[in-house]
Amino acid sequence: MSSADFKNEFSWSKSRDDTFNECRRQYYFQYYGSWGGWDEKAPERTRHTYVLKQLVSRHMWAGDLVHRAIERSLRNLQDRVELLSCDRIVGITKNLMRNEWKSSRDKKYWTRPKSTALYEHEYEIAVSDDEWKALADNLETSLRNFYGSEIFMKIQKLSLDSWLEIENLSSFDFEGTKVWVKTDFSYRTGNRITIVDWKTGHTGGDNTLQLACYAFYGTNMWQVVPGQIDTIIFNVSNNIIEECAISNIDIERTKDYIRGSIRDMRALLRNSDVNEVEENDFSKADDKRTCERCKFRKIC
């Protein structure tokens, strides 16, 4: 597909905001410099940038494997397909993990950019066998925690008619800007909406903005007020469930934050009508550590 077939339109998401705040130059490569790089006929630097865009850390990759396993199970339940045993799911996922690891190790992503591309392999970061094993062990623990959890048991007891979304990438309009949101799972009980987010990393950070974005999306998608939305974070790695109340004040603060973020991003556009930018307008991060861990550092 040629980049001329569709437009690179300006939009906002929490992940886009995170990248923008970490490093403006990284933001440029992620959302502009890589555009069209899926086309084999794209300029070499664009193609190169697109491949580097796919790089993820080993921890992000393991987390994605857990998410994919859970999503498959939920979609099978939705289609009334018999659920596999936890042992089978763990075995299938760990086998997939091994195959994807080998593919990344051999850097096959340079010819198949959508295949698994690990930052550690591209930049030849030393990772011991024990560290790789610990990653696989944590993946298994996360899966066993999820499939043995009260949350999963509750999901299985819910009427399928009450299910709303499973890993849906959705959007809504906010004052003329498309805002993207991806929720892990959501369902309705009576006049209330519950949005659940699984995590596989360390907890302790403030998730208010992310959850408020989900709740804000919920008010637009399902025509409810914030007080009718429950948000839950389930860290499957350490088996901790956290229920978070999102208030009207949180929603209003989130709207203000998104407005400011959009304003800052748009300020770097040369032509806002066509989302046109110039690379040199996006400065590199001052923090040396940020530059050292950047997946685009080969071309930055």
Task: Select from 12, 28, 84, 92 the least CA-distant residue to 281.
Answer: 28
Following CA atoms 44, 48, 51, 56 in sequence, which dihedral angle do they give, to the nearest 10 degrees? -170
Q: What is the pLDDT of residues 76-118, one digit of tens each?
A: 999 999 999 999 999 999 999 999 999 999 999 999 999 999 9
Q: What percent of the chain has pLDDT over 90?
A: 91
Per-residue pLDDT tens digits for 137-194: 999 999 999 999 999 999 999 999 999 999 999 999 999 999 999 999 999 999 999 9
Cβ–Cβ < 8 Å for 169, 184: no
- Sequence-ordered alpha helix ranges (H) in 184-270: 208-221, 248-266
The class level of CATH for 159-246 reads alpha beta
Kindly state the greatest CA–CA separation across the chain.
Answer: 54
204 band by pLDDT with thresholds 50, 70 and 90 = low
Residue 36, Ramachandran bin (φ over 0: left; ψ between -120 and 50: alpha; else beta): left
Query: How is residue 60 written in tokens?
Result: 């992000």
Q: How confident is the model at residue 245 (pLDDT cuts 50, 70, 90)?
A: confident
Give the separation between CA 184 and CA 168, rounded to whole angstroms: 7
Q: Residue 20 is encoded by which pair of tokens?
A: 């923008």
Q: 203 versus 290: which is more confidently predicted? A: 290
Q: Chain-wide mean pLDDT for the chain?
A: 94
The pLDDT of residue 27:
98
Instruction: Report, as an integer, the average pLDDT of 20-48.
Output: 96
CA 14 to chain centre: 9
Q: What is the pLDDT of residue 136?
A: 98
- Domain positions in the chain are 10-152+288-292, 159-246
* pTM strictly above 0.75: yes
Does the pLDDT value for residue 124 go beyond 90?
yes
206: confidence class by pLDDT, cuts 50, 70, 90? confident
